[in-house]
Structure 1
Amino acid sequence: MRALINAFIIHLTLNILIFLKGWNTFEGKKTARIIMVVVFGAELLIYTIGFIFYRYLPEDITQFIRVMGTSWMLFLLYNGGLWLIIDLINAIRQKISHKPWRVREQSRRFKVITYLIPMIIVTGIMIHGRYRFMHPVVQQVPITIDKPAEGMDSIRIAMIGDLHLGYMINKKHTKRFVDLIMAQQPDLILFVGDIIDSHIEPILQQKMDEELSRLSAPLGVFSCTGNHEYRYDTEEKIALLNKAGITILRDSAVLIGNSFYVVGREDKVVPTRKSLKELLFLQSVEMSKPVIVLNHTPDNLAEEAEAGVDIALYGHTHHGQVFPGNIATELSFEVAHGYRKKKDTHIYVTSGIGLVGPQYRIGTVSEMVMLTVRFRE
């Protein structure tokens, strides 16, 4: 609830600031000001109703309010940033010219143009960002391992990260994701955590597990845990995923067809999480066979590389989800998104297929990854 209240305060503050800028821009323009009052007032009214009565409204209406509210907030943040940049540039320009600069003293033409043009630009960017979220790409990644896998020369692995199923990513999105995964006809399906966003209630209410139960592959469906699995209802969520056919590997390993291992690590939020070398030892993993490790957060790639595993798969970053978050993740992680080889370990960090908050991908992509893994004969 505290997070919701904070979001509401931020939302309200942004609306007030942007409204006041528009009110000043359209000084003397009665029609424009009326339109502003109607648009901002309607948005705030709908968002407030949703905030207070979301438990009592039909799910379709609540979902519309969630999407509208988060979209409007992103719209205001981007516009606010552009307006700030324009004002700073103009202030610097006026300072260099030794001319006084005050917002209210700018010409009406200048104020209208600099108010509306950013809105048009941001609208276009968000339309494209919405399209990128609604149309995930399938990244094809070939990998060759210099180890034999008994009875196999190659396999096709579907790697998926960060579905974040819940209130924002509902059953319709879940069906879309499952359809895309199954269309690839993978031999093995691997998740890298954060399948469920926070609470289990929306999963149960919308019966999203029915969609997850459609996932199948000849060699199985597995996942490690992510930090969101541990936010609320941890054991209930993991039990639901196991029942839906997704085997959650919690610091454990499974030998697939006596050919290769899949190892799932607990998320780093778990105090009792084992080091990778300890885990491999306790699970009696034969390093002569190919070893694939699922590990949600890519904050220590050296651990997998030094342990000598063959493939290490990660998620968590979303690659920042929307600009400038992608820049922040590039600065924060050794690999924020994509493929890298470290020593003899093939690494892939996925930007994820789902998301948290606004349903947009700006400067990033929603993706699933198809790994074509070839073994030594």
Structure 2
Amino acid sequence: MRFRLGLIVFSVVSLIVIGGHINALWINVKEIPLTIHKKVTGSPEVKILMASDIHLGALIGERREKRLLDIVREQKPDLVLLCGDLIDGEIAPVLRKNLGRHLQEIRTPLGVYAILGNHEYIGGIDKTLPYLESINIKVLIDETVTLPDGIQLVGRNDRSSGRGAKAPEPLAELLSGIDRTKPVIVMNHQPFNLQEAADANVDLHLSGHTHHGQMWPMNYITQAMFELSWGYLKKGNTNFYVSSGYGTWGPSVRIGNRPEVVVFKLKFDE
């Protein structure tokens, strides 16, 4: 009787893990149309592809990286934004597998920009940052850039960077010199204190980090920790999106959510 019960439990757990692994490999491309009542130069319609938490390293390698490149080519976005945790941790497996070379092939009219996540700091930012720069990804660290069409892109440093000189700058300081008549998009890996961005009247705020718990019932923990654990929210004039992430942390298993890339179809005033 005990043997039969144990066999049943083992079989059920195995099916859940196998199903979760298959689910973790099945990338969902989610499209979100948004209207922002500001003007840009050129076309009033801009397509942005966002991916977060790719976690390239020992477990996630070339096949998943190439799949992301294929998705970008299929979607043909104007801009690609990578919202932190591009690297899983230690840079050694990335270098050993020669990862990143497919990301170098991404070509978009407005470029490819990234921010740092907590895992870039876990692996040692002094080694990870030069790697990201070597594959021609522009990393914004508490930095604002104005794109050719007038969109102002703000990349925040991750809160894992520490205190003192390395501590992330307040959002109000990063926005002090911007043109409020033009669109403002903020990338911030960890979705803490959404009210800060809402008070600043940011147009679009993008985060990742949570994985929405990755495996049920861990999603209840992320939902308790963050105002938004996964998906879309609007507060005041600010549109928020927290991605469930592209890759996985630890085992390649997802239960209760799917990996994703998010395509924002932005429409601005004529």
Shorter-chain TM-score tier: over 0.9
Distance (whole Å) between structure 1 residues aligned to residue 9 and residue 240 of structure 2: 39
**199, 208, 215: which one aligns with 1:306:** 199
The alignment's TM-score, normalised by the length of structure 1, stands at 0.68
Partner residue in 2 for 1:333: 226
- Residues 22-47 of structure 1, C-alpha deviations (whole Å, 9 max, x = no match): xxxxxxxxxxxxxxxxxxxxxxxxxx
Q: CA deviation at 1:258?
A: 4.3
Give 5+ residue unaligned stretches, structure 1: 1-108
Q: CA deviation at 1:260?
A: 0.9
Partner residue in 1 for 2:54: 163
**236, 250, 260: which one aligns with 1:367:** 260
Partner residue in 1 for 2:122: 231
Deviant stretches of 4+, over 4 Å: none
| Mapping for residues 204-243 of structure 1, pairs under 5 Å | 204-243=95-134
Q: CA deviation at 1:212?
A: 1.7
Contact 2:26 2:258 in 1 (8 A): no
More helix per residue: 1 or 2? 1
2:87 paired with 1:196: yes
Contact 2:65 2:100 in 1 (8 A): no
Q: Secondary structure at the match of 2:205?
A: strand
User: Which of structures 1 and 2 has the bigger CA Rg?
Assistant: 1
| Mapping for residues 20-59 of structure 1, pairs under 5 Å | none
**324, 342, 367: which one aligns with 2:235:** 342
Q: Secondary structure at the match of 2:186?
A: strand
- Residues 125-166 of structure 1, C-alpha deviations (whole Å, 9 max, x = no match): 222211111111001111110111122211111000001111
Partner residue in 1 for 2:168: 273
Distance (whole Å) between structure 2 residues aligned to residue 169 and residue 317 of structure 1: 18
- Residues 208-230 of structure 1, C-alpha deviations (whole Å, 9 max, x = no match): 12122112211100011111111
Q: Secondary structure at the match of 1:144?
A: strand
Partner residue in 1 for 2:8: 117
Contact 1:151 1:259 in 2 (8 A): no
Count of paired positions: 266
Distance (whole Å) between structure 1 residues aligned to residue 76 and residue 132 of structure 2: 21
The alignment's TM-score, normalised by the length of structure 2, stands at 0.95
Q: Secondary structure at the match of 1:204?
A: helix
Q: Secondary structure at the match of 2:159?
A: coil
**Percent identity of equivalent pairs:** 39
2:72 paired with 1:181: yes
Distance (whole Å) between structure 1 residues aligned to residue 133 and residue 168 of structure 2: 20
Distance (whole Å) between structure 2 residues aligned to residue 129 and residue 290 of structure 1: 39
What is the identity, as a one-letter code, of the residue corresponding to 1:168?
L
Give 5+ residue unaligned stretches, structure 2: none
Contact 2:38 2:268 in 1 (8 A): yes
- Residues 95-150 of structure 1, C-alpha deviations (whole Å, 9 max, x = no match): xxxxxxxxxxxxxx2x2332122222222222221111111100111111011112
What is the identity, as a one-letter code, of the residue corresponding to 1:347?
F
Distance (whole Å) between structure 2 residues aligned to residue 308 and residue 242 of structure 1: 31
2:150 paired with 1:285: no
Q: CA deviation at 1:204?
A: 1.1
Go from structure 1 to structure 2 and tell me whether the alpha carbon gap of 1:179 and 1:258 turns closer, same or farther (over 3 Å shift): closer
